[in-house]
Amino acid sequence: MKGRIIFKGEVKGEALVTSQPISFYGGVDPESGVLVEKGHELEGKNLKGKILVFPNGKGSTVGSYGIYRMKKNNVAPVGMINKECETIVAVGAIISEIPCVDKIDILQIKTGDTIEIKNNLVNIKK
């Protein structure tokens, strides 16, 4: 699949997929990398080392620093794939230097798939 580069890079990892937007301020614990928002599809899941696949960010713009804190604590996703990226995730990816691609049909990806991000390309290896 071909998308749009938000922050360029090459990375391979296991997909963690949700159809729900994620808040990186209050919704994810920046110390552990665990998604803590009550009732979220990924509640209790650790984002560490995953290729995180979600439609877009939501909530407070402080979330960009939330992504950066995860990266510094070594609990950040190694890559992010969005349907439609917005300010919080884009800025978070750039300041944290996490490869990020958007304009991808995220429904094609399932949790557990091996994903390779190569700049604007996303390859799924089932």
Binding residues vs another protein (CB under 8 A): 4, 6-7, 25-26, 30, 61-65, 68-69, 71-73, 85-88, 90-91, 94-95, 102
Closest among 58, 61, 113, 62 to 84, alpha carbons compared: 58
Q: How far apart are CA 51 and CA 98, in angstroms?
A: 10
**How big is the chain, counted in residues?**
126
Measure the CA dihedral 8/31/57/92, to 10°: -40
Nearer to another protein, 72 or 110 (CB): 72
Closest CB to another protein among residues 102, 113: 102
Q: Please say if 64 is a catalytic residue.
A: no
Q: Smallest distance from the beta carbon of 110 to another protein, in angstroms?
A: 26
Of 23, 32, 60, 96, the active-site residue reads 60
CB of 113 to another protein, least distance (A): 25
Nearer to another protein, 45 or 69 (CB): 69
Handedness of CA 68, 73, 78, 83 (dihedral sign): negative
Q: Active-site residue numbers? A: 60
